[in-house]
Each structure stands twice: as C-alpha cells, then as structure tokens.
Chains A and B, each alone.
Chain A
Amino acid sequence: MRSHVDPEPSDATRLLLAAADGDKQAADQLLPLVYEQLRKAAQLDLAGEAHAQTLSATALVHEAYLKLVGPRDVPWANRRHFYSAAAEAMRRILVDHARKRGRRGGPTLALSEVRDVATLASADSERILAVDEALGRLEQEDPQAAALVRLRFYAGLGVDEAAQALGMSPRTAARLWTYARAVLFRDLSDRS
C-alpha cells in the first residue's frame, strides 16, 4: 500500500505559523528567509530586461510564497504575516539594489510611470531611494496608509487582499490607497 507522506513543514512555514501566533521573534526570523527567496527571484527576473515587463511583484511574491510554504491551506491570518514580511523584503531588495548600483542607474523614469516594483527596479537608483524615503515619511504621518502601500506596491497584493490583511473593508482600503498614492505622488513631485 502506498502511503504518501507530506514533507515536514519548512522553516519558513514553521516560522510563519509561529509568527501568526504573535511570535515577534519568529516574524523577525522569517524575514531573512523570505528575503533570500525574493532576492534570488529578483536577481533572476529583474536582471532580465525581457521579463521585466511581464513579471510583476505579485508574481514574484506568490512564487516565493509557493516555494516557502506551498499551496497548503494556510489561513489568511498566517499569510498576512508572510506578505508583510515579503513586502519588507522586497523593499529592502530594491533599496539594496539601488545602493549597490550607486549613482549610476537605469533610465530616468517619469514618476507617473513608476507602475510596480519591476518598473521601479529598472529605474535609476535615485528614484528607488526617493520612493523609499517618501514612504518613510508617509509612515510617520499615517502608518496605516504606509502599510497599505507596502502590501499593494511591494508585495503586489490586490486591494481586497491588502484590505483583508489590514483588517479593513475593501472600500476603505481603496479610498486609503487613492489618498496614499496622492500623498506620495505630491511628496515625490515636490522634491524632484
């Protein structure tokens, strides 16, 4: 008789589940793991110009999520921690990426064209760092809005998913998103 055995949960899953239980330490430990996964994915995909257009942050993050956790039935409460970590990891990837490249950098991109992580990644370093700094300022002013931007922009979550993650209605999230977007756009326009 065949017996199918599921592999032991990976470190990430275990940490994910622990993080979901409110284990702060686990959440901290989770980050490097996610980071590593995303960094690899980003190196692969962000480096290739051809793919840069088609691969969204969503795809990257889902890919990383699948690799870490698999399609098992992890409750949303748990996935939320993952995506928060993923967003943070993605943000760092971009910032590290930009710092490493220094002042050199990609083409100068109009602010209104900074569509997603992939386009931002292809932008000049200054732009990448500026977005990050602006996000930091938004965080000071309105942490909820900043959290939403992280999830939507860096982790590529849809409005519904991000809303669920933040415990708000999709409608509220949509409004907050519009607002945050305007704030960031104004901030960045003013400074560039």
Chain B
Amino acid sequence: MTRSAADIFHGARELPADQREAYLTGACGKDVALRSKVEALLKADAEAGSFLGSPAADEGAHSQEQAGAQIGRYKLLEQIGEGGMGTIWMAEQREPVKRRVALKIIKLGMDTKQVIARFEAERQALAMMDHPHIAKVLDAGATETGRPYFVMEYIKGIPILEFCDQQKIDTRARLELFTKVCHAIQHAHQKGIIHRDIKPSNVLVTLHDGVPVPKVIDFGIAKATSSELTSKTLFTEHRQMVGTPAYMSPEQAEMSGLDIDTRSDIYSLGVLLYELLTGTTPFDIKALLESGFSEMLRAIREDEPHKPSTRISSLGDTGTRTALQRSVDAKKLSTLLRGDVDWIVMKCLEKDRSRRYETANGLAADILRHLNDEPVLAGAPSAGYKLRKFVRRNRGQVLAGSAVVTALLVGVVAFAWMAKVAGEQRDRAESARAAEFAQRQLAEAARGEAEQQRALALEQAAEAARQETQARKHEREAQNQAAIAEAVAKFQTDMLAAVDPDQLPRDPLTGEPLKDRVTVVHALESAVKLLDAGSLAEQPLVEAKVRATIGATFQALARFDEAEHNLRKTLEIRRAASPVDERLVADAMDSLAMLLWQRGENDESEALMSAALEIYRRVLPAGQIDIANAMDNMAKPLVGKNKLTLAEPLLRESLALRRAILPASDTRLAHGLNGLGHLLSLQERPADAEPLYREALAINRTARPAGHPELANSINNLAACLKAQRKFEEADLLFREALAIKRATLTGDHPRLALGLNNLASSLQEQGRIAEAEPLFRDALAVWRAALPGGHQHMAMCMMNLAQGLAARGELDQASALYDEALEMCRRILPSGHPVTVQILGEYGSLQQTRGEFVDAHALQRELVELHRARADVASPEYTNNLNNLGLIELELGRTEEAAALFREALQIQRDTLRADHNDTHAVLVNLVHALRALGRKEECVSVLQDALANRRSALPAEHAQLAETIATLAFVLVEFGRLDEAEPLLHEALTLERSNGSTGSTARDVLAHLALVARARGRLDEAESLFGEWAQLQRAASQHARFSDARFYNEFALLQWERGQLAQAEALLRAALAVQRATLPAPDTNLANVLGNLGAVVLEQGRLADAEPLVVEALALKRTLLARFDPSLLNSVENLISIYANQGKSAQAASLVMELVAATRAASPEPSVERAAQLAALGTALIEMKAWADAEGVLREVLATREALQPDVWTTFNSRSQLGGILMAQGKLDEAHSPLLDGYRGMKAREASIPTQGATRIPEALERLVAFYEANGAPEEAARWRGELEAARARGAKSDDEKQR
C-alpha cells in the first residue's frame, strides 16, 4: 500500500545509508514491488536537489535541518516556527550544560560572515543582558550549508497579541503586561542594545502560576542582519511577512539604516501598544501597499495615524464589539479616560523622535500613572486635567457619577491655588483667570439640573482644556502651566496630608490605614475641618468662596447635609461682610437655592432664588446673560412644586432676553430654547415644544462641531418630543443620528451610549417593533453592565423596558428575571421611594398579577403602597392604581374584606383628585361593588353606588354619557337584589341616555337585557321579547366583543321563548349562548352545564332524541363534576337522560345510570341523614318511573328506614311508605303492599297542609296506587271509593293551580 511505502520510505530516510539495506529487507519482506518502489523514492529523494524548493527555502524538509540533526553543539528536536527570515527549532544543548534552546536558522541569501561578525560585535553586550522578561541570546554560528543561526533561551510562550486575545485580557491587564515589556526594553537599552524589530511575534508570553510573564526574544538579531534591510530585500521581506513594516519607525523607513537609536524601539512599542488596545496597527497596510512600497514608507514617515480611541470607534459595530471584548468587556475599567491612552500611544508614535518618550521606563511610568489615575506626562498638563486625575485617584468608594465629582474638584483646587498664590507673582494672574474660568464653567455645571448636563459641561471643560493646551505653545504659557501644576500638587499634598488617618478604612489584616482609599470625601472633610478651625478666619471672603466650592462638591457627591452646611456658611459670611457685595450674596443664594431645590425643599429654594433674582436684576446691567440664567434657576423650584404655569413666564422671559442679547447662532440661546421646550414637554405640550427644540437643534447643528455631545443631546430632545407626538418616523431618524454621534465620539462602554441605544429602542418598542427593540436594549444593558457594574437608575429603567417587551411576546420568565434584577438594583442604589423604583414595582406587580402569581404580586404592590404612603404621595393616580391593583390581588387571594377596604380608599382619593367623569373612577367603583356583593353586603353595595351616582350627577351635566354607566351599574345591582321597582326607572333613564348618545356599547346592551329581565319577571312577556329582540340584534352586531356574561342573557331569552312555545328560537338562542361560552370561558363552569342541559332539554322536547343525547350526557357529566350531588339542576338532566333512554328502549342503561348515582350518593355521605335520604328518594322516584322495581325497592327501604328514624312526623316519610307499597304491589307482593299503601296515604293526608307546591302530586299518586291495589285484589267497591277520593284530590289541585296562575 502507498501508505506503508511512505512509512518505509520515511523510516529508511532517517537512517544512515549503511543501515538502510537491512531495514528495507525487514520492512518489505518479500514484497519486491514495494521494495523497488521505496528504493526508487529514496533515490528520487537523493537526486531531487532543489526540485520544488531550494534546500535553503525548504524549511526542515531537507537534509541538515531535520529533527535529530546536529548543528554545532545543538541537536535539533522539533521545528517550532517559521518566518520570513528562516526557521526556528527547539534544540538540545549538551555542552557545557544540558538544556533546551531555541535555534533560529536564517535563510540563505545573507552574507553569513557579516551577519556573524556583527553578532559577535554585540555579543558581549548581549551577554550582559539579564532580565526576567528578556530571552537571552546565547550563541551564533553558521550551519554546514553556510547559513547563520542564532541560539536563544527556549521560551514556551505564545505571541503577546494571541495571548491577550485568547485569554480575553482586559485593557487594564494589557497595559500592565505591556509595562513589563517596556521594562525589558529599558534594560536592554541600558546595556546599549536596541532591539530594532519589536513586534507581537517577538514578545512571547508564558504563564507562571497564572501570572502572564512576557519574554522579548530576538535581541541582537535584527542588528546583526540589518545591513540586508535595503529596499530590495525589504520589499521581498514585507511581502512574505506582512505586518513587519507596520512596526517600523519613521527613521527606519528612511532606509538609511544608520540613524537608529533607542527611540525607534519606543516607536515600535507604541505600535505594539496600539495593536494591543485596538486590534489594529496604526497604519492601514492594505491601503499603503496598494499605492506602492515607497508610498508605504512615505506614510510611515509623514502621515498622522488615528488616535486609538478614534480607531476603535471607526471600526464599526464589529470592530467596536471586538475591541470591547478585548479590552473592556471583562473588566470594569469603565471610565478609562480615552484621553490618557490616546496621549500615551500618540506620544510614542511621534514622527519626531525627540518628542517621544525618552525611555521605555518613561513610557511604562506614564502607563502606570494612568492606571493609578494620576496625571500622565503624555497629555497636556493643564490644571483641569491634573485635578481630574486627582479626583479619580482618590475616588475610592465615591460615586459612579464620578464625572461630576471630577468637575467640581477642579474648582476646589483651582481656587485653593488662587488663595495661596494670590499676590505672589503678577504674571501668574493670568493663570488664575484661566483657573477661574474653568471653575465658573464647572460651577455652572454643578448648578445644572440634570446629571447629563453636568457630564456635558465636564466634557466641554475637558475639551476646552485640551484645546487650550494645544493653543499654548509658547514659553510663557508653559510657565503658567508649570505654576498651576506646582500649586495644584501642593494643595493635593496639603489636603491629603490633612486627612485624619483614623478615619480611613483599615486593612483587615494589618490594621494599617489604607492610604490609597483616601476618598474625595475624606479630603473634603479635612478641608472643612481646617476651615472650621479658622484657617481662613482672617480672610472671610476667601473662606466663603472655598466653602462655596466645597459645598458644591459635597452636593455632587450627594452629601447634602455637608453641602448645605457649607453653602449656608458661605451665604452667612457674605451677608455679614462689610461692605456687603450684593452680587456675591446673590451668588451664594443662587447656589444654596439650587441645593435646596435638589433636596426637594422647594419653598425655601423659591424664596432664596426669588431674592437672588431681585438682586441680579438690580445690580447687573440690563441684558446680562446672568439674569437669564437666574430666571432659569428660579423656574426650577417652581417646576418642582408643579407650578408649571408660574415657571413658564420666567423661562419665556429668559428666552426673550437671550434672543435680545445673543446672536441667533449662539449655543446659549439653544440652551434657553431647550429649557422652555423641556417645560412644555412636562406640561405634555410636545407640539408646542417641538418648534423650540427644532430651533435649538438648528443652532447646535451650525455652532457645534459634528459629534459634539450637546448636539447629540439636542437631537435627542427633539426626538423624544416627536416620539411623544407619535411622529415615530422622524423621531427614529433622530434617535439614530444621536446614537451614531455617540458611537463615533464615545468609548464603547460609555453610559451615554447605552442611553442612546435605550432611547431608540424605547421608541421602536412603543411602535410595537419589539423584535427590533430587543437587541438594542440588550446592547444598552451590556454597555451599562460594563460601564457601571454597580448599577444605575437608567440601567434599571432599561431592564424594565426590555422586560415589558419580553412580557409582550410572552417571555414571562425572562421578563420576571429582569424585573427582579432591576428591583434589586433600585433597592441597592436608589433612595427609598425613588420614582424609578416605584415605576418598576408597579410594572412588575402588574406582570405578576397577569401571570397569576398573586402572592408575589401582592408583595410587590404592598411594598408600593407602603412607599407611596411613606412619601405621603397619596394623591397621585399611580397610588390609586396601585391600591386598585392590590385590591384585585386581595380578591384573587380570597381576602375580600381587605380588597373592599383598598377599593374604598382608592375611590375616596379619586373623588378628591380626579374629575368626576374619569374612567378610572368607574373601574374602581365596579371593583368595590364586586367585592361588596361577594361579601353579601347588599345595602352597602347599593349605597356606595347611590353615592357615586349622586356625586356624578352633581358634577356632570344631565346628558353626560358617563352618567349612564353609573346609573346602569346601580340598576343592575338592584335587579340582582330583586329590587325591581327601584331598578326599572333607572334602567329606562340609562337607556334614554345611551340612545341619545347613539351608544350601542356593552352598557346599552346590558341595560336592554336587564329591562327585558324585569319585564319578564313582571309577566310582561311581549315587552320582554321585544326588548330581548333588540338586545340580540345589538349583540349580533357586536359579536366580536362578546363577553361570557352575554351568554346569560341568551339563556334567559331562550327560556322566555321556550315558555312561549318557541322551541326553535329557544334552541338557536341557547346555541348562541353556548358559542359565546365556549369562546370566552377559560374552563367549563356550571353556567355552561346549565346552558347545555337547557339545550338538551329543548332539543328533546322537539323529539330529536339522538341530537339531545350527547348534549344531556355532557351536561350531566359537567354537573356531576361541578355541582353538589343533588342539585335539582342535576336531577333535571338525569330525568331528561332517563327519558331519552326510555324512549330509545335503553331502560337498562337508564337504570344503571341511576344506580351509579345511588352508589355515588352513598359514598359521598356514608352516615344516614335526612339529606341523604332526600337525595336517594329522588333517585328512587326516578327508578320507579323507569319501573326498575327491584332497585327501587332497595333504595326506598333504605330511605324509609332513615326517615322513620330521623323524621317520623314529616309528610315525606309517608310518601316514601306509599311509594314502597307501590313498588311491592308492582312486584306482585300484594300482601306486603297493603299496609304501606294505606299508612302512607293517611300519613300524607294528615299532613297535607305542610306539603309544598312541588309535592302537590304526591297525594293523588298515593290514591292512584290504592285504586290500583284494590282493582288488582278484586275489590271493585273499594276501588271505586278510592277513585272518588282521587278525583276530589285532583280537583283541589287544579283549583289551587288556577289560584296560583292569578
């Protein structure tokens, strides 16, 4: 076989020529053909030469470079790699030590002597390298074929990029790993070794005890082979090893080959870092190569690559996701400041190497600074920037919304600097102004109402800082920056030094205070202590200003008590100052008012703001933007108190002022437009808000650079406003645009990106496009989860949105799980009773309610009720809905009393808060009535309805449509309670109202049906029929909306027709009733059984036995499962069925049915009782009618025994005796029959007065039996006498029937 020929071939090939013969003989045996084939192959192999590949390029497959081959002191073991330069082998060294090494054999084509000479020149330096992250180069030499080779420490690792991707290493860990690489390179540089070929495949990573350890390989090799890097060889090279030029520094791209220093390695490190972070190299190799080799070199020398953050966002969805997964996903380095990383990488990639990091350690140090939230050197060391880092570093357990904190701290420190350096040096005054500018911007942000606006302001400030930095090129600016930085650093130190170590969290093991857990709060608390101790007592106005800033910071940290303390102090100091600077007082009032507004203290806030506004109007020249801002602030507590109509003129005036003093394209005008637009939206006037939002957006589109966050915000406002007007098409376009901006400008893990996704998804979901919304919600959640692992109210809202969508498409378990998570989050992060919590509780409660999880739903709604009560928020529609829902759950749980109380409470609140014609009022009323009916509290039920009606009558005009529903409800209840006289005029009134309103809805139909019921009960059958007729007509028209209660009226109508002998109509109506029931009832109930029984009876009465049978059988079966054993209705069906069987000659079947029921009765009540006797007696009677005498005798004897023992003096006992006599007689036992017949009759006769109407036929029946007995006994005289008695009795019965008829 071929395979074995191949195997033998290989076997032989590995042996020295002199051993082959023996081997072949053994392997091929007598197979001559096989042997000659193998021999031919061996010969061909020996002769093939360069066939299909020169030996040099024929890696490993040829002569010397085979496993087992000896090269110098090294024995090749296994080929472990192959690259453009050659092959890499794992080899074994035996002398002087036995160890594994890696052998890199360079391809032919190089001047081996030169290569080795260059290597030797650097050999000593190489030998001096001793670093854990460097693979040592041990040796170099030439193979027998003259190819150079290098011997290195053997590393069992994989290239760094592969490693990071495989292990899904997050950005932070990548950066940390990368710093180790930097240290390795630094070490080499210190020994005078430049690597020259740093690239991912030259940085291998191994795991030591789970810790990734990088090893840089190939030191010295590039240098040794470098003179070969001419354009021609590189050309060939790059084509074979795509990617290498990507790591090449611009000076390497100069191709001079001479001017290379350590900073080339820094550049390559930058490229490596770039790729680690973004998954791509800075230059688009494809584009470069398409335009040619020289173009590629030119680009490397001249083009500015995209910043890593820009690259990530430009990679599109897939790219972003990949990047996310590589860098951020697993870890919560959520607020990774993209500025830092960009700056660091771009500093490495500077074309001018003097602007790169001087050393690899410098690069590593900057990365570590970034990781520790310290300012990096790479970026612009503006005051704002450094302080931002300060806050982040000291964030500790502070808030998720650190952006705000950051913004405010800039203010703190910038001011502190001012306080310290004021008057020191005049040329620093400019810096002070710059700092104050930043402070003002940020203070403005602090006053902003929404978190988003603050974040926005921060971005503006940061952006401004960045631009500012770029602008500052000249020397003096640099000096200023240095001064700021110095002051800032000093203050940081002071503030941190002042932190009381006792207040720091302690290491649980050592008990040492954890310095790195110093938080902003600690720092601020220390600052306040300094102030309270009088550190600035001689400079009260300075103290006021410091306190103002500290107060604002505490406010942002949601430490409202501390904030208030400091802001009040500020105001106090400024008021006491002499002379009073009114402007400063107004500023302090303004700040305090905004804090109080945020705390919900709207009254005081309004008063302060009103005073502040008065001052501003007085002291500021007219037409100042500050006045407009103050008016906006004044509007806030008013909005907080829901005095929207008072807020509106203020916002309008503010807007008018802005229009008057600002150019039409000023973004501050857009701000005013958005403010008023927001108010109008709150007033649910989106149509009025729309033009304002549009104008604001137009301004932002011109004034803001594409992709500015404020532009996205403005787009979002308009979109939301359009969505509120259900103008979904345009809304969606805008939501998408806002989202696109966010995608392009924000990191993939930015919360505002999540918000954008959520907004678009909400709009889609509101249009019912649930399937489209769902993935967006999920994306949004994923972003949030990565960005804010602690949770956020927006995230909870998003979960709720998604849960609603899931619930809508029936994924109830998933929806529940999300609600659970959202609720848990709310409880953890939001103050008790937060509106978001309330909303989620309500939604979740409703879901559990619809799912029938009443116990869960109860807990949720109960909690919600408590929340509302705790917040004294008991006038809201949400609260009454909540009460109502809880009431419905209590009903389901059988706690009707509790339900009634809840409905009552809800109704009372609604009566105080809602307009009388509000639909919710009626719904709650109906629920209350339902509960009271269930409780049997008829009077209360009627009086509640009468109250409600009186209430509506007094509030609504007489012809108001909604009066009808209340009137009708009252009337229905009255009909139900048999108070027909009171009901009838109300029904007529309701009908008139409904007719005048042209209504044919369910109320109109129910009113007609009830009128028909009343007419029928009053014996006005024609009227009843015509009313029912009208009802049935409306009913047919509304058949789509049939409710199961409609079946009841069909049934009543049918019974009326039946009474009137209209059997066919009755049947049709009953069939209609049945259809409604089958369509609407979740499970068969007694109503269905009754309708079936009635239908069976009507069909039977028309003589269609076969049609009737299945109906009656089904009815009986249902009744037997649903009813108490001897409900008369069950007996009706039994009788009907017996009648059917009897007529079909199936008497045995009928008898066995009855006996089955007898057995069931005995089993159901094992002890003899009056009740059981009555049930058995009824069955006995049926057996008598069927002439099943033997069975009847047994049953009757049992009945009689019970009755004689328990009720010897009741007429039914004697009836049973008479019946037993009849049975005995029928069986020919005449002797035995006589006495029971006679006694039975006499007993009944003596108790005739106590016999109810239904039993009226029993005496004549007893007499019939006596007549028959005497006739059978041959006693005609006696028989005649009893016949006389019989006729008299019948006459009496007929007479009493007549009386009843009248």
Hey, which bits of chain A sit against chain B, CB under 8 A?
1-6, 54-56, 58-59, 62-63, 66-67, 69-73, 110-116, 141-142, 149, 152-153, 158-161, 170-171, 174-179, 181-186, 189
Q: Are B2 and A141 in contact (CB under 8 A)?
A: yes
Given A1-B705, A158-B59: A171 in contact with B67 (beta carbons within 8 A):
yes
User: Which of B35-43, B423-431, B618-626, B628-636 lies at the interface with chain A?
Assistant: B35-43
Which residue in chain B gives the minimum CB-CB distance to A173?
B61
Q: Are A115 and B52 in contact (CB under 8 A)?
A: yes
Given contacts A114-B50, A160-B81, A176-B6, 12 further A-B contacts (CB under 8 A): A4-B310, A59-B236, A62-B239, A69-B286, A73-B279, A112-B47, A149-B52, A158-B59, A159-B82, A160-B82, A174-B61, A175-B10
Given A178-B13, A181-B45, A186-B43: A171 in contact with B54 (beta carbons within 8 A):
no
**In the bound complex, what is the Cα–Cα distance between A185 and B2 (angstroms)?**
16
> In the complex, which residues of chain A have a beta carbon less than 8 angstroms from the beta carbon of B243?
71
Question: Distance in Å from the Cβ of A61 to the closest Cβ of chain B?
Answer: 9
**In the bound complex, what is the Cα–Cα distance between A185 and B315 (angstroms)?**
49
Q: Are A178 and B707 in contact (CB under 8 A)?
A: no
Indicate which residue in B47, B286, B314, B745 contacts A66 across the interface (CB closer than 8 Å).
B286
Indicate which residue in A141, A177, A189 contacts B47 across the interface (CB closer than 8 Å).
A189
B306 within 8 A of A: yes
Q: From residue 79 to 98 of chain B, which have CB atoms closer than 8 A to chain A? A: 79, 81-82
Which residue in chain B gives the minimum CB-CB distance to A119?
B50
Question: Distance in Å from the Cβ of B902 to the closest Cβ of chain A?
Answer: 56
Q: Are B2 and A177 in contact (CB under 8 A)?
A: no
> In the complex, which residues of chain B have a beta carbon less than 8 angstroms from the beta carbon of A153?
52-53
Given A159-B61, A181-B48, A183-B44: A63 in contact with B310 (beta carbons within 8 A):
no
Among A116, A152, A182, residue most surrounded by chain B Cβ atoms (within 10 Å): A182
B242 within 8 A of A: yes
Q: Are B310 and A71 in contact (CB under 8 A)?
A: no
Which residue in chain A gives the minimum CB-CB distance to B741?
A1
**Residue total for B at the interface (Cβ-Cβ under 8 A):** 58
**In the bound complex, what is the Cα–Cα distance between A70 and B288 (angstroms)?**
10
> In the complex, which residues of chain B have a beta carbon less than 8 angstroms from the beta carbon of A186?
40-41, 43-44
B417 within 8 A of A: no
Q: Are B48 and A185 in contact (CB under 8 A)?
A: yes
**In the bound complex, what is the Cα–Cα distance between A53 and B13 (angstroms)?**
31
Q: Are A70 and B60 in contact (CB under 8 A)?
A: no
Among B236, B281, B311, residue most surrounded by chain A Cβ atoms (within 10 Å): B236
Q: Are A6 and B50 in contact (CB under 8 A)?
A: no
Q: Are A185 and B51 in contact (CB under 8 A)?
A: yes
**In the bound complex, what is the Cα–Cα distance between A161 and B52 (angstroms)?**
17
> In the complex, which residues of chain B have a beta carbon less than 8 angstroms from the beta carbon of A115?
50-54, 57
Q: Are A63 and B41 in contact (CB under 8 A)?
A: no
Question: Distance in Å from the Cβ of A78 to the closest Cβ of chain B?
Answer: 14
Which residue in chain A gives the minimum CB-CB distance to B6?
A179
Residue contacts A-B, CB under 8 angstroms, 7 given? A3-B313, A6-B315, A72-B286, A73-B280, A112-B48, A112-B50, A174-B60
Instruction: Please name the 5 residue pairs, one residue from A and one from B, whose CB atoms are nearest each other, closest first.
Output: A70-B286, A112-B49, A4-B314, A186-B44, A1-B707
Question: Distance in Å from the Cβ of A62 to the closest Cβ of chain B?
Answer: 5
Q: Chain A at the B interface: mostly helix, strand, loop or mixed?
A: helix
Question: Distance in Å from the Cβ of B452 to the closest Cβ of chain A?
Answer: 20
B285 within 8 A of A: yes
Given A6-B314, A159-B59: A59 in contact with B52 (beta carbons within 8 A):
no
Q: Are B41 and A184 in contact (CB under 8 A)?
A: no
> In the complex, which residues of chain B have a beta carbon less than 8 angstroms from the beta carbon of A110?
49
Q: Are B45 and A185 in contact (CB under 8 A)?
A: yes
**In the bound complex, what is the Cα–Cα distance between A1 and B51 (angstroms)?**
57
Question: Distance in Å from the Cβ of A122 to the closest Cβ of chain B?
Answer: 14
Question: Distance in Å from the Cβ of A14 to the closest Cβ of chain B?
Answer: 14
Which residue in chain B gives the minimum CB-CB distance to A72?
B286
Indicate which residue in B43, B54, B306 contacts A4 across the interface (CB closer than 8 Å).
B306
**In the bound complex, what is the Cα–Cα distance between A58 and B54 (angstroms)?**
14
Question: Distance in Å from the Cβ of A1 to the closest Cβ of chain B?
Answer: 4
> In the complex, which residues of chain A have a beta carbon less than 8 angstroms from the beta carbon of B236?
54-56, 59
> In the complex, which residues of chain B have a beta carbon less than 8 angstroms from the beta carbon of A159?
59-61, 79, 82
> In the complex, which residues of chain B have a beta carbon less than 8 angstroms from the beta carbon of A179?
6, 9-10, 41
> In the complex, which residues of chain A have a beta carbon less than 8 angstroms from the beta carbon of B256?
none
> In the complex, which residues of chain B have a beta carbon less than 8 angstroms from the beta carbon of A142?
2, 6
Question: Distance in Å from the Cβ of A9 to the closest Cβ of chain B?
Answer: 11
Indicate which residue in A62, A70, A114 contacts B240 across the interface (CB closer than 8 Å).
A62
Q: From residue 243 to 262 of chain B, which have CB atoms closer than 8 A to chain A? A: 243, 246
Given A159-B61, A171-B67, A183-B44: A114 in contact with B315 (beta carbons within 8 A):
no
Which residue in chain B gives the minimum CB-CB distance to A170?
B79
Which residue in chain B gives the minimum CB-CB distance to A2?
B310
Question: Distance in Å from the Cβ of B897 to the closest Cβ of chain A?
Answer: 65
Among B53, B78, B745, residue most surrounded by chain A Cβ atoms (within 10 Å): B53
**In the bound complex, what is the Cα–Cα distance between A117 and B59 (angstroms)?**
17
> In the complex, which residues of chain A have a beta carbon less than 8 angstroms from the beta carbon of B47?
112, 185, 189
Question: Distance in Å from the Cβ of A158 to the closest Cβ of chain B?
Answer: 5
Question: Distance in Å from the Cβ of B81 to the closest Cβ of chain A?
Answer: 7
Given A174-B60, A178-B45: A3 in contact with B242 (beta carbons within 8 A):
no
Q: Are B52 and A189 in contact (CB under 8 A)?
A: no
Q: Are B314 and A5 in contact (CB under 8 A)?
A: yes
Question: Distance in Å from the Cβ of A58 to the closest Cβ of chain B?
Answer: 5
**In the bound complex, what is the Cα–Cα distance between A181 and B240 (angstroms)?**
23
Q: Are B51 and A58 in contact (CB under 8 A)?
A: no
Given A66-B285, A149-B52, A153-B53: A182 in contact with B45 (beta carbons within 8 A):
yes
> In the complex, which residues of chain A have a beta carbon less than 8 angstroms from the beta carbon of B990?
none
Which residue in chain A gives the minimum CB-CB distance to B10?
A175
Q: Are B707 and A114 in contact (CB under 8 A)?
A: no
**In the bound complex, what is the Cα–Cα distance between A70 and B44 (angstroms)?**
40
**In the bound complex, what is the Cα–Cα distance between A90 and B943 (angstroms)?**
97
**In the bound complex, what is the Cα–Cα distance between A172 and B284 (angstroms)?**
36
> In the complex, which residues of chain B have a beta carbon less than 8 angstroms from the beta carbon of A141?
2
Indicate which residue in A2, A54, A63 contacts B306 across the interface (CB closer than 8 Å).
A2
Q: From residue 147 to 174 of chain B, which have CB atoms closer than 8 A to chain A? A: none
Question: Distance in Å from the Cβ of A176 to the closest Cβ of chain B?
Answer: 8
Q: Are A58 and B239 in contact (CB under 8 A)?
A: yes
Which residue in chain A gives the minimum CB-CB distance to B707?
A1
Question: Distance in Å from the Cβ of A21 to the closest Cβ of chain B?
Answer: 16
B316 within 8 A of A: yes
**In the bound complex, what is the Cα–Cα distance between A177 and B51 (angstroms)?**
12
Which residue in chain A gives the minimum CB-CB distance to B54?
A115
> In the complex, which residues of chain B have a beta carbon less than 8 angstroms from the beta carbon of A184?
51-52
**In the bound complex, what is the Cα–Cα distance between A115 and B319 (angstroms)?**
41
**In the bound complex, what is the Cα–Cα distance between A174 and B59 (angstroms)?**
8
Which residue in chain B gives the minimum CB-CB distance to A5?
B314
Q: Are A71 and B286 in contact (CB under 8 A)?
A: yes
B771 within 8 A of A: no
Q: From residue 292 to 313 of chain B, which have CB atoms closer than 8 A to chain A? A: 306, 310-311, 313
